[in-house]
Amino acid sequence: MERLRSEIQIKVTKLAGLDMEFDLIGVDASMANALRRILLAEVPTIAIEKVWILINSSIIQDEVLAHRVGLIPIKVDPNKLEYVVKDDETVADTLVFHYDVQCESRGKWMVGRDCLKKPFLIGLIRPYHHGSIYCHTHG
């Protein structure tokens, strides 16, 4: 352990607010990956858990659409939401999103910057396709 500790170097390349970038030097890739996994597991996150698809006339299957929506990164502080108690959703522990898209010409089904860091492509839609979904996140 002492040898490992003496061979490892950590160089911080960027530090701004809560964001930090660093280089691990002298570490095997498997050890760096293990550290990355530990750090990611400790970061509190909010994700869409429930998806109700009201209308989907696009070429994307409902299950695939629900999966893609579940992968959308939500830009919200998890500490501002309370934990759900016994599946009873309240305003204090649930965020609700409604996406409604209708295409008059060729286009993309995008989710905007209101809840995300950058626009997120859900899928391509063709003329006269319509999609309407409700999503819930929990603290």
Fold of 48-138: RNA Polymerase Alpha Subunit; Chain A, domain 2 (2.170.120)
60 strand-pairing partners: none
Gap between the Cα atoms of 51 and 31, Å rounded: 37
Question: If you average pLDDT over every residue of the chain, what do you get?
Answer: 79
Quick: pLDDT tens for 11-48: 999 999 878 899 999 888 998 999 889 988 888 778 88
Strand partners, 124: 108
Domain range list for the chain: 2-42, 48-138
